[in-house]
């Protein structure tokens, strides 16, 4: 297996022991040193199990890099043939004894999973796959990235090697697994692993009935979000019990990829205690994107989504977006731009989607549960009172969406769905606010804190006044700035200036020493794309207010330099001007997107926007998301850097003048310039 830590590319290969066997400690030390120097590292070791890999994966936390795995899951026959024939191996794994060693390694092999900390895993089953992986990584430049997720893994009906007959005794097949013919040639026995039925609750014949509306859903929040499995199993069973009689002839199926899944075992036992009809609810082992081929037809599947409703990130989310193809991403963007914890949203799949045509999936329901992982956004920090409440809301919203889908497909009567439909209408009437009145922060980045911004009366007001733009583009947390701009008096604890035209507040996750937001108070100005010549007066007012605050800060600290501008495609509703110092000295600046959103053409200077609207009627929008993944370059000397820590270290001491284009047209505001510096 190869690990790849990928902050930058272009490193050479180093043999630790100069042709002799090296140690794991040596490998770790050299890897850490190389990462610190901004190099990419490829670690060529067997790494048979999770324990062996763990120390290497930990390196990513201190160096802020992605971790990839390339798994050489090649046939045992090929592995033995090569090991027997080779000579001069530093570990003396060659000749006749190599076969026995390889066999022992195969028995101990534990394939890597994304939840170990990998960003991407590529499985190579043959020489073609190996060459493809080499070509993929060999072609990467320093500004390129690869999609997150798991690629090339064996499907459930792939033959699994259990023994090497030529060298050892035949390995008996496990119970309930049927033996198949051997692959041509000596030495390999294969077992055809059949898809699991349903953890023993219901025979597979009942699963394949296409006419029964069925929702397959994973356990929400118990993987990457690290929610307690025991508590989660209670909530699943209790919520299923509440809804199972509201879905007519529909079925609910909890799915997990692991045959020894603890959550499946717990839920199955608790469901039996509550006498939940096993024909209406059962558990199933399999890939949620390939259930039909495994004997279970589900027309609706649930996705454990991220708050941005974006592909990637690994796990179920990456698998579903990958299996559905780009159609799902496009369809999702039409429904919502983000999702709040405890909420779900149903997305109809176009018939062109691979999940629709191959698996018969008509809808994907995105659902977001509570997060208990401090390394992920909106961590509740072991607040299980709130966590259980949010998880219960998430499952309720998921099942309510399923009831609504079944109703529209003509499977239920109005009586069956009336209660659920009423709840859905309340939640879908603009996705205004979470039931607990909490929003994510004010800025466009996913961070881990929340701020209470609304009460029940304010929610009702927003429902009536948000209009189509909110329904189409904005999720609940993205309404925070809008709510402040419309009723700033209710948010005096965060607002530092209020006028008839603008509201000013500190960015709650500043990306520099000083970072303000100037909000327009006009209805209908959600983003820069909404601005026309009729709004010039508002833009000039916002700019003047921003200049006033920047000048105030400069009087307090003459070393500060400010830039005023807009993001071409903000992820929060309500037009807002960034007033940001150019030191970018902040713990909240953590990744490429943070940096490039202020240091690439994605950021439009306020002076330029005003001039373009005056002359052309509309501003130029540089909203290509590729701009946010550009290589990291100093905002002064434009030197390239492999990662954020290296970049921050550099900009803290860089005294180069700012680029010429920034020094023109009033794009930068600073104290009177000295001879040797800006």
**Residues catalogued as catalytic:** 576
User: How far apart, in whole angstroms, are the C-alpha atoms of residue 79 and residue 87?
Assistant: 14
CA atoms within 13 A of residue 452's CA, in its CB half-sphere: 5
- Alpha carbon distance 440, 102 (integer Å): 51
Cα–Cα distance between 183 and 120 in angstroms, integer? 30
CA angle at 312 for the pair 52 and 288, rounded to the nearest 5°? 85
Contacts of 418 (CB under 8 A, 6+ apart): none
* Alpha helix positions (H), 169-297: 229-243, 262-273
Distance CA 56, CA 25 (A): 10
- Describe the chain by its helix, strand, coil percentages, rounded to 5: 40, 15, 45
Give the Cα separation of 473 and 478 in Å (integer). Answer: 9
Rounded to an integer, what is the distance from CA 319 to the centroid of its chain?
A: 11
Instruction: Specify whether the CB–CB gap between 486 and 458 falls below 8 A.
Output: no
SS3 state of residue 422: helix
Cα distances (Å, whole numbers) of residue 288 to 216, 301, 302, 516: 7, 7, 9, 44
Q: Which residues contact 673 (CB under 8 A, 6 or more apart)?
A: none
Do 250 and 402 touch, CB atoms closer than 8 A?
Answer: yes
How many angstroms separate the CA atoms of 387 and 226, rounded? 11
Q: Do the beta carbons of residue 489 and residue 538 sit within 8 Å?
A: no
Find residue 364's DSSP bridge partners: 301, 347
Q: For residue 180, give both structure tokens.
A: 């198949």
Find the Cα–Cα–Cα–Cα dihedral 448, 454, 455, 461, rounded to 10°. Answer: -140
Residue 474's SS3 state is coil
Per the structure block, which two tokens stand in for 453? 């911004």
């Amino acid at each position: 297996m190869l690990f790849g830590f990928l902050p930058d590319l272009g490193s050479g290969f180093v043999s630790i022991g100069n042709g002799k066997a090296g140690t794991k400690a040596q490998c770790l030390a050299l890897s850490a040193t190389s990462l610190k120097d901004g190099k990419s590292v490829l670690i060529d070791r067997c790494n048979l199990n999770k324990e062996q890999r763990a120390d290497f994966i930990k390196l990513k936390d201190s160096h802020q890099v992605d971790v990839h795995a390339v798994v050489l899951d090649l046939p045992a026959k090929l592995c033995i043939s090569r090991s027997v024939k080779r000579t001069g191996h530093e570990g003396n794994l060659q000749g006749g004894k190599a076969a026995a060693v390889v066999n022992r390694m195969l028995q101990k092999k534990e394939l890597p999973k994304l939840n170990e900390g990998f960003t991407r895993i590529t499985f190579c089953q043959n020489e073609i796959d190996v060459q493809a992986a080499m070509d993929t990584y060999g072609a990467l430049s320093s500004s390129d990235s690869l999609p997150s997720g798991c690629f090339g893994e064996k499907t459930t009906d792939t033959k699994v090697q259990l023994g090497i007959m030529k060298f050892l005794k035949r390995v008996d097949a496990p119970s309930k697994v049927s033996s198949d013919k051997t692959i041509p040639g000596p030495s390999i026995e294969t077992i055809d692993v059949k898809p699991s039925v349903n953890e023993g609750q219901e025979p597979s014949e009942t699963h394949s009935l296409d006419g029964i509306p069925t929702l397959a859903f994973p356990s929400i929040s118990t993987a990457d979000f690290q929610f307690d499995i025991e508590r989660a199993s209670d909530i699943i069973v209790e919520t299923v019990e509440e809804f199972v009689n509201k879905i007519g002839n529909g079925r609910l199926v909890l799915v997990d990829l692991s045959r020894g899944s603890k959550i499946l075992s717990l839920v199955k036992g608790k469901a039996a205690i509550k006498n939940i009809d096993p024909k209406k609810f059962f558990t199933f082992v399999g890939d949620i994107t390939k259930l039909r081929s495994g004997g279970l037809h589900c027309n609706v599947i649930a996705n454990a989504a991220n708050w941005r409703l974006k592909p990637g990130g690994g796990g179920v989310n990456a698998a579903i977006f990958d299996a559905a193809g780009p159609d799902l991403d496009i369809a999702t963007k039409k429904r919502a731009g983000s999702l709040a914890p405890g909420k779900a949203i149903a997305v109809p799949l176009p018939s062109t989607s691979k999940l629709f045509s191959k698996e018969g999936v008509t809808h994907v329901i995105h659902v977001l549960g509570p997060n208990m992982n401090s390394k992920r956004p909106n961590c509740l920090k072991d607040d299980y009172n709130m966590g259980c409440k949010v998880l219960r809301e998430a499952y309720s919203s998921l099942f309510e969406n399923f009831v609504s889908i079944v109703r529209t497909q003509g499977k239920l009567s109005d009586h069956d769905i009336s209660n659920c439909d009423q709840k859905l209408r309340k939640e879908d009437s603009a996705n205004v606010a979470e039931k607990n009145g909490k929003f994510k922060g004010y800025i466009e980045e996913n961070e881990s804190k929340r701020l209470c911004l609304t009460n029940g009366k304010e929610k009702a007001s927003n429902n009536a006044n948000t209009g189509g733009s909110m329904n189409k583009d904005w999720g609940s947390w993205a309404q925070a700035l809008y709510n402040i701009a419309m009723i700033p008096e209710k948010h005096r604890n965060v607002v530092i200036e209020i006028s008839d035209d603008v509201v000013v507040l500190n960015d709650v996750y500043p990306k520099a020493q000083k970072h303000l937001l100037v909000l327009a108070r006009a209805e209908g100005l959600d983003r820069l794309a909404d601005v026309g010549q009729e709004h010039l007066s508002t833009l000039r007012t916002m700019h003047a207010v921003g200049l006033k605050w920047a000048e105030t800060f400069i009087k307090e600290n003459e070393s500060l330099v400010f830039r005023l501008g807009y993001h071409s495609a903000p992820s929060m509703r309500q037009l807002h001007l960034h007033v940001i110092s150019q030191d970018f000295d902040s713990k909240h600046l953590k990744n490429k997107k943070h940096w490039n959103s202020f240091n690439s053409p994605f950021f439009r200077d306020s002076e330029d926007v005003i001039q373009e609207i005056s002359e052309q009627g509309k501003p130029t929008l540089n909203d290509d998301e590729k701009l946010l993944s550009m290589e990291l370059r100093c905002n002064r000397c434009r030197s390239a850097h492999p990662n954020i820590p290296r970049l921050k270290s550099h900009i803290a001491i860089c005294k180069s003048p700012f680029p010429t284009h920034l020094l023109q047209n009033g794009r930068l505001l600073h104290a009177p310039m000295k001879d040797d510096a800006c």
